[in-house]
Structure 1
Amino acid sequence: MSTPAPFIQCACNACTCEANADHQRDGKHYCSQACADRHPDGQPCPAADCHCESGVPFMERAISESQLDEAIEETFPASDPISP
C-alpha cells in the first residue's frame, strides 16, 4: 500500500488550495496558473470556495509569463533588424 502524498499548501498568500506540481513560479508551487501569475486582471482562483484573488493588491499583480511569451512571439520577426 502506498502512502498518500503530503498536502502542500498553494504559495499564493490567501489561497487555501492544495498546490499542483504543474504550476510553479520562483521555485514555489501553486494550485493554478492564476495563482502562480498573481491573478493578472483579477483572474479568480479556480476553486469555487477560494477567493484569494481579492487578497492580491492591484500593484502586485504581474503579467503572466505566458502572456509575455505570446507577446514576444507575436513581434517576431518584426523586432529583428533589417538585414543589409
Structure 2
Amino acid sequence: MSELQCGCPGCHCEVDPERVFNHVGEAYCSQACAEQHPNGEPCPAADCHCEQSGKVGERDITNNQLDEALEETFPASDPISP
C-alpha cells in the first residue's frame, strides 16, 4: 500500500488512511491542513510547521470561505432564464 502525502503546501506528513481529511479531492493529515491553517492553527505533527509555510500564507482566503462564496452565488431560488 502506498503512503499518501498531505496536500497542504509545506507539510511533510503522511496521511493516516484511518484518519484522512478530504477536501476538494485531496487528502490531508488534519482539519487545519485541509483548511490551509486559516487562523494559523498548527499542524498536529510536532516536527512539522507547515502553518508557517509561505505558500499557505500567500492565500488571502481559506478553502471554506471559497466554498461558502460559491454556494452563495448559486441560490436554488434563481428564476429560470427565458
Q: TM-score, normalised by structure 2?
A: 0.64
Percent identity reads 45
Rg (Cα) greater in structure: 1
Cα RMSD for the two superposed structures: 2.1
Q: Which runs of 5+ in 1 are unaligned?
A: 69-84
Which one has more relative contact order, counting CA pairs under 8 Å at least 6 apart?
2
Matched residue count: 62
Distance 1:64 1:12 in 2: 14
Q: Following TM superposition, where does structure 1 have runs of at least 4 consecutive aligned residues deviating by more than 6 angstroms?
A: none
- Structure-2 residue corresponding to 1:17: 13
Deviation per CA, 1:12-71, whole angstroms, max 9, x where unpaired? 110010124530110000000000000011001000000000111153451647xx7xxx
